[in-house]
Amino acid sequence: MNDVVAQLTQFFLQYSLKQRAIITAIIVGFLSIVIALLMWANKTEYELLFANLAPQDASEIVTNLSNDKIKYRLENGGTTIYVQQDKMEEMRIRFHSLGAGSNAPQGFDDIFDPEKQNIGETTNMQRVKIIRAKEGELMKTLNSMIWIKGSRVHLNIPERRLFEDDRRGSASVFLVLNRSSVQESQIKSIPALISGSIDGIQPEDVRVMDSRGNLLYNGEKENTLGLSGTQWELTNSVSNEIKLKARNIVESSVGFGNSSVQVGVELNFDQVQQTIEDIDPDDVTVLSEEIINESNQDNVDSSTAAVENSVTNYEFSKTVRNIVHGTGNIKRLSVAVAVNGKYETIITDDGEENQQYVPRTPQELEDLTTLVKGAIGYNEERGDVVNVINIQFADPVVYEGGFIDNFKDFEMWKEIFMYLLIAVGLYLGFNLVKGLMNTEATSKILIPFELQKKALASGKENSLIAAAKEKTPEEEIDEDIYIAKLSPEARARMKANDKMTQDVIAFAEQNPEQVTGLMRAWLAEQPKA
């Protein structure tokens, strides 16, 4: 082991400081990429377990998860808990069975539990419990709506008193929405729900607000359209209904995609109240009759004069009708229908089959007009207009979106990114190994280990080369193979060393006396042992 460490140490020290920094950065980067890929491949996928939990419930659930060594993640200040994906369904069933969410809205079953002892409760306490139970039931219903994340309901129900008319109550609703945009019909469903559930509360007695402080419903009275919505919504609804009827009847004759229908509807939103009183002169009823008899006696001749008067009161039969004309009646209707012609197959002189456009006949257009009028409830007195014309439709543009749609797949990009990281890691690793193989230090490492061991023991400056010269003929390495493994920089340094050695040898041969004097001076300077 020490030999391997020494070998790697010597291999690393053969490079300059700059080269060592580059090699270290490449190795660290490559290992980081490999570790990141492994961590990403083994990443735990989390899925929502519970949201909007009370602190007590969240603490209980987290404690159980920790005891069971199940991975989890907390968000939204600890009120939302995520667990690993493969355990989500099991944990949800388990915690529901254990009564998780004990701080959820409590209804009648929770407050008026038969197992609980209610002895000694006063009438006022029972009344408060009833109000709490009603609030809880309403909150349960509201929380079951997909666009509501959470809710609070506050009811103000006045206490009934003797000899006093029933007083109307009120309600306030606080909502936490799942999305920012909510339709008006959805908001209006809340006052309708509360007024239908609580006696003495009308829709105009309900106030609705959201968690951002926006007043969503301020107790407006229902408009004259009732549940049909606003005037624009009603107009659009009637237009679509008539358009569907006209298109169905036309497409049944000309085929799917060969017709286009547009409808314009003008509705009357004026509310008219009419009172009609009809009197029948032939139907007379005696209401009362008064008869007065008077008699007068003459004192002269003792004669008596009798007078009879009668008063009869009659009542004619009459009918009073109060007619309220509803709003949203159709005032005028206009329908435009465009139908495509027919295509017939003809054979040319060359024997090829071609499709030829043939317009529809006036009789066909007249028949289609009659069908449309019958389907939409045409009324000439109302000024309705129906136009059916024949026009050649343009050929639809074929959009080949299959290839482009593939790039919208998130999973595909996820796999491409993973493979790309692997390819980059392999490329960097290959270049690192290739660069190391072409260096002088790497070539020295390729010399048999026994020679390196001798070189390390000798302590000479050029230890590997010296050890290579001492190896046996069986261990001799071809110089061409050795030189080919060196990098261009190493080969250049080797040639420079060879040239310097040849110059020294040539100088010694030409000036033997000077060389001898120089060697004697070196020996004289060496310290004596």
For 98-118, the pLDDT digits (tens) are 545 545 677 777 677 666 656
Strand ranges of the sheet holding 385-390, from the earlier edge strand across to the other edge: 259-268, 329-339, 385-390
Query: Measured between alpha carbons, how far is 81 from 100 in angstroms, rounded to an integer?
Result: 13
Q: Which two tokens stand for residue 225?
A: 């359209």
The neighbour count for residue 268, using CB atoms within 10 Å, is 14
Q: Residue 514 pLDDT more than 60? A: yes
**How high is the pLDDT of residue 388?**
92
Q: What share of the chain is helix, strand, coil (3-state, %, to 5)?
A: 45, 25, 30
pLDDT at 511 over 90: no
Calculate ∠ Cα 387-392-393, nearest 5°.
100
Q: Which of 443, 458, 507, 451 is nearest to 476 (CA)?
A: 451
Q: Which residues lie across from 48 on neighbouring strands?
A: 82
Q: Provide the pLDDT for residue 436.
A: 58
Q: Among the listed ranges 128-142, 174-188, 267-281, 497-511, which one has the minimum average pLDDT value?
A: 267-281
Tell me what percent of the residues of the chain surpass a pLDDT of 70: 73
Residue 155's pLDDT is 92
Which H or E run contains 366? helix 362-376
Determine the average pLDDT of the residues in 299-325. 70
- pLDDT score recorded for residue 334: 92
Q: How confident is the model at residue 185 (pLDDT cuts 50, 70, 90)?
A: confident
In this prediction, residue 60 carries a pLDDT of 83
How sure is the predictor about 465, in pLDDT bands with cuts at 50, 70 and 90? Answer: very low
Distance CA 332, CA 385 (A): 8
User: Structure tokens of 381?
Assistant: 């007195």
The encoded tokens of residue 249 equal: 């009847």
Q: What is the pLDDT of residue 368?
A: 92
- Measured distance CA(249)–CA(253) in Å, rounded: 7
Q: Is 199 helix (H, G, I), strand (E, B) or coil?
A: coil
Instruction: Please give the torsion angle defined by the CA atoms of residues 144, 147, 151 and 153, in that order, rounded to the nearest 10 degrees.
Output: -80
Angle made by CA atoms 193, 198, 202, in degrees to the nearest 5: 70
pLDDT at 390: 92
Strands (E), 359-440: 385-390
Report how far Cα 224 is from the mean position of its chain's Cα atoms: 37
**Average of per-residue pLDDT values in the chain:** 76
pLDDT digits (tens, 9 = 90+) for 387-405: 999 988 876 544 445 555 5
